[in-house]
Chains A and B, each alone.
Chain A
């Protein structure tokens, strides 16, 4: 099963196995990664599942659509070039090992 590595703002890493097709946001909630809030439930209306994707994996992701691009503008911790909303990233085998850094605040 593909793996996601969540790294807290303090630097602690947690590795989670995620079925293909599941989003990085949904997997975080299932596995007690409390830094992902996901207030809107994954419909690109809030920015509380914001993550910074490791540059090595960032280019492998399908690009963000207009809605996601817009919502990243209101992320509580300011967006960076590798910012994404984790509700929009579905896991695949190819993404196994993806490292996402969690912001210090989501609200």
Chain B
């Protein structure tokens, strides 16, 4: 058999590449290699419904096991690639086995950043990324009483909401002055601070954690540099991730904040693509290169690479979008707001339905929506289609955004849907 496609990583990006290759009619061998023991699963529910016990393992699997057999996708689970041998066009596994490739797709993901401090190794200090870890978090949450979450980003806040929903006493410690500050505008941060506070979650910003204290090997609390101390029988850490670039680096591929790829998601080796959380790509909706951690990015890049391998030409131009669910609120984000110089708000905060529009030099970059789904969806079309919209129009609820988008599309004869 001639060498086929080897995909390193069984997350959303790796899965999507394999599935889309078959949809695109690819006939040769597909080998999907991952270190985790499970068949590919979704990560987003792990910090939401799964943590609450509403969804079981079965419900988070992307497809049942039979899917891989039915589509002749060879799934190597619990398998670690130790080396990419580019000259021979093969990958070497920890077992010593070598798998040859015609094209290699790196979808190696990222790993949690660990807290570099005293007490981080205590029993009861948990991280969440894998299903394995999610099972531990879910089970330990049941018996825990006082939970401290270190990190007020998406994962930390989703888990804080889950723990509070389960009736636990929850404290969130964030190092920066506001929640989710890398991703959203102050008005959104404030909305979520109030949301958590209204559910009796203690939210503290500008916190500098000094150490995690313990007794008898078990976690007991979190100590701040200012002397404050928060008791905890469970500490959950969500302080960001590090992309898995080591294999690529060792193989001499160009890396920066992720494996560097071009607008076709190819590395500097034309036979190797890199996608998903581990890759940094030139994004037409951002000012330069970005590395994104999201389902949308993983799925769209997987699909794009499958199409590229099967002969489609073109450049990657999917619009980034994200979401987070906390308590009964869904925050929907379209575009990349980084670099904005102005924000305007549509809707009013009292109604708990608002959208924030981010502009740079009067050009719309991104929209974050709370309980305003239509703004989010039309927003994707506005941004992807580069529809002219002034901040004044965005803030004015009497301006019908859907009509404005449609009118522009008719006038320009353009189709925006391809990149959404």
**CB-CB contacts of A33-61 with B at 8 A, as 1s and 0s?**
01000011101111000000000000000
Minimum C-beta distance from A64 to chain B (A): 11
The residue in A32, A41, A67, A107 that gathers the most chain B C-beta atoms within 10 A of its C-beta is A41
- Report which of B45, B303, B321 forms a contact with A41, defined as CB distance below 8 A: B45
B323 and A74 contacting across the interface, CB-CB below 8 Å: no
Q: Is the C-beta of B299 less than 8 angstroms from some C-beta in chain A?
A: yes
B299 and A39 contacting across the interface, CB-CB below 8 Å: yes
Q: Is the C-beta of B27 less than 8 angstroms from some C-beta in chain A?
A: no
- Bound CA–CA A67/B369 (angstroms): 11
Q: Is the C-beta of B381 less than 8 angstroms from some C-beta in chain A?
A: yes
Chain B residues with CB under 8 Å of A74's CB are: 377, 380-381, 417, 420
Q: Is the C-beta of A73 less than 8 angstroms from some C-beta in chain B?
A: yes
- Report which of B44, B70, B378 forms a contact with A43, defined as CB distance below 8 A: B44
B374 and A40 contacting across the interface, CB-CB below 8 Å: no
- Report which of B60, B70, B321, B373 forms a contact with A67, defined as CB distance below 8 A: B373
Chain B residues with CB under 8 Å of A107's CB are: 303
Chain B residues with CB under 8 Å of A34's CB are: 23
- Sorting the interface of chain A by its residue count into under 10, 10 to 19, 20 to 34 or 35 or more gives 20 to 34
A29 and B299 contacting across the interface, CB-CB below 8 Å: no
Q: Is the C-beta of B199 less than 8 angstroms from some C-beta in chain A?
A: no
Q: Is the C-beta of A70 less than 8 angstroms from some C-beta in chain B?
A: yes
- Bound CA–CA A76/B299 (angstroms): 15
B323 and A45 contacting across the interface, CB-CB below 8 Å: yes
Q: Is the C-beta of B42 less than 8 angstroms from some C-beta in chain A?
A: yes
Chain A residues with CB under 8 Å of B332's CB are: 45
Chain A residues with CB under 8 Å of B299's CB are: 39
The residue in A34, A66, A69, A70 that gathers the most chain B C-beta atoms within 10 A of its C-beta is A70
- Bound CA–CA A41/B321 (angstroms): 15
Q: Is the C-beta of A95 less than 8 angstroms from some C-beta in chain B?
A: no
Q: Is the C-beta of B63 less than 8 angstroms from some C-beta in chain A?
A: yes
B373 and A66 contacting across the interface, CB-CB below 8 Å: yes
Question: What are 25 inter-chain pairs, A to B, with CB distance below 8 A?
Answer: A29-B63, A32-B66, A32-B67, A32-B70, A39-B296, A41-B42, A41-B60, A43-B323, A45-B296, A45-B332, A46-B296, A66-B373, A66-B374, A67-B330, A67-B373, A69-B373, A69-B374, A70-B377, A70-B378, A71-B373, A73-B378, A74-B377, A74-B380, A74-B420, A107-B303
